[in-house]
Amino acid sequence: MAAANEAQTQDPETPLESDVGGPAGKPSFNKYALLCALLASTNSILLGYDIGVMSGAVLFIQDNLKITSTQVELLVGVLNVCSLIGSLASGKTSDYIGRRYTIVLAATTFLVGALLMGLAPSYPFLMAGRMIAGIGVGYSLMIAPVYTAELSPAMSRGFLTSLPEVFIVFGILTGYIINYALSGLPTHINWRLMLGLAAIPSLVIGFGVIAMPESPRWLVMQGRTGDAKRVLVKISDSAEEAEFRLGEITKAASNSGSGASSNWHGQGVWKELLLRPSRPVRRMLVAAVGINFFMQASGNDAVIYYCPQVFKAAGIHSKKVLFGVNVIMGVSKAAFVLVSALYLDRFGRRPLLLLGSAGMAVSLIVLGSGSKVLEHSQRKPEWAVVMSIVAVCGFVSFFSIGLGPITWVYSSEIFPMRLRAQGSGLAISVNRLVSGVIAMTFLTISKKLTFGGMFFVLAGVMVVATIFFFFIMPETKGKTLEEIESLFEDKYGNNDREMREM
């Protein structure tokens, strides 16, 4: 596994994709590819908005519908659990109907759920709306990064594939602002408006998909090489680059074991992933599932969902002030996720991932310490409150530097073309399952351990995560998707040779 820490050496006689489209090492942004990535990533705003707006709306829902803390946990967590269904189904769906129409399906499903939530007259109707919205979220979390990765040139894929996380963070910040803006309305109205407004991004995505092409890699797998070439011409900087990329994709398709055929709709992939995986595929699966597990085991979503409850316990009781803290946290996330996205193709995946996870561990230790002081103080010292707020902002900022964007990048780029959609869907389903479990148990466990104790447990999880990333996750910066597939194969195929050379 330690061999994964070193990047695979590029054969000097093999041209880099960037050699055709621009100088190696300098990201070249094709405007059409950038537009398509932005439109696809808009899907991810759906989850972000729900996380942000629900953190405030749940306070009013609890007051208005008179529900218990257990019902609050179920309400918050059910979206993540149901997104597991969408994530598991998304791979097969996108292999069958294509990446583009899966984006439409995700937006439509979430639209129905958002409308139900906004119009819900009671708790059961609200739960039903969140369950439907959750399925849409599951679809969107898989399809946005996979579609973007399959369109992106190698030298700018890190930036473009991290855009879903940028939109998630933008959605969270938007949700916080909506919370703050609508908090003064009557309790029976404000939370319904907060949740119902989520329908707007779904409509934008539905119309925006008209301008988006299908993934060229999916088209090649369907035997539609001519259509794939026309798309590649649009998303490449030159005809030579388009021809080179088409050649790489066609070669990968022919080596995939199934070839390219209009009769291929993803059949046999689950068996290859789970029942008879090769050693390289097994390592890809461990890497993808592992990073998705730790993304949610870090407690990021739960901290955001329940941040108002945490600071309410710290002695801050004004809803306006609580929402103001949320806005500060959202601005921190937005600033640092942009920094990560812009420098991901320059510094690489591994350095930012390790920096982010280590920083999260330190921030959680500080947050746990501040919370412990507040728990044992009658007068709630101001310095401890400020320290806790700074620690929360640090926690979400380091998440936005590392795990936030890089999880989607790794999930969408490390699987071979034939396995990409369903492999990514499987990994993201683990992400959703862990997120749901954490969200539905965070308050209950915190009552047993206290918030401070819970943050110390999460800090321990992030220490383990940092070790896992150091030994398991390879560097994929600047490589085409087809080269990444070879990277995993070569690491295992050349083990004996590497041992002899050491």
Tell me the per-residue pLDDT of 185-204, one tens digit each, with 9 for 90 and over.
888 888 889 888 888 877 87
% of the chain surpassing 90 pLDDT: 20
118 located within any domain? yes
Mean pLDDT for the stretch of residues 46-60: 82
pLDDT of residue 29: 66
301-315, 348-362, 386-400: which is most confident: 348-362
Q: What percent of the chain has pLDDT over 70?
A: 87
The answer to the question of residue 308 being in a domain is yes
Backbone angles phi, psi at 479, to 5 degrees: -100, 145
Closest-CA residue to 40 (of 190, 185, 205) = 205
Q: Is the pLDDT of residue 358 over 90?
A: yes
CB-CB contact of 438 with 302 (8 Å): yes
User: Residue 464: its pLDDT value, please?
Assistant: 97
| Per-residue CA distances from 330 to 326, 364, 393 (Å) | 6, 17, 8
Residue pLDDT, tens place only, 200-226: 877 877 777 777 899 998 998 888 889
d(CA 281, CA 277): 6
1 lies in some domain: no
Alpha-helical (H) ranges within 120-198 are: 123-151, 157-161, 163-182, 187-196
**pLDDT tens per residue, range 436-459:** 888 788 888 888 888 889 899 999
In-domain check, residue 157: yes
**Which tens digits make up the pLDDT trace of 370-421?**
888 887 777 778 888 888 888 888 998 999 999 989 999 998 888 888 888 8
Lowest mean pLDDT among 104-108, 276-280, 323-327, 421-425: 323-327
Q: Quick check: is 173 in a domain?
A: yes
Owning domain of residue 223: 24-494
Residue 79 has pLDDT above 80, yes or no: yes
pTM: predicted TM-score of the whole model, two decimal places: 0.77
Q: Is residue 18 part of a domain?
A: no
Residue 501 falls within a domain, yes or no? no
Q: Which of 29-33, 254-258, 357-361 has the highest mean pLDDT?
A: 357-361
Which region holds residue 256: left if phi is over 0, alpha if psi is between -120 and 50, else beta?
alpha
pLDDT at position 244 over 80: yes
Identify the pLDDT of residue 359: 96
| Residue 276: Cβ within 10 Å count | 9
In the numeric block, the tokens 């087809």 are attached to 482
The enclosing domain of 255 has a CATH number of 1.20.1250.20
What is the residue-averaged pLDDT of the chain?
81
What's the pLDDT at 245? Answer: 87
H/E stretch holding 297 reads: helix 279-297
Q: Cβ distance 353 to 406 under 8 Å? A: yes
Q: Does residue 89 register a pLDDT over 80?
A: yes
Q: How many domains does the chain have?
A: 1
When pLDDT is averaged across residues 140-152 and rounded to a whole number, the result is 88
User: Quick check: 175 and 198 in contact, CB under 8 A?
Assistant: no
Query: Residue 85 domain-assigned?
Result: yes
Asked if the model's pLDDT at residue 248 lies above 50, the reply is: yes
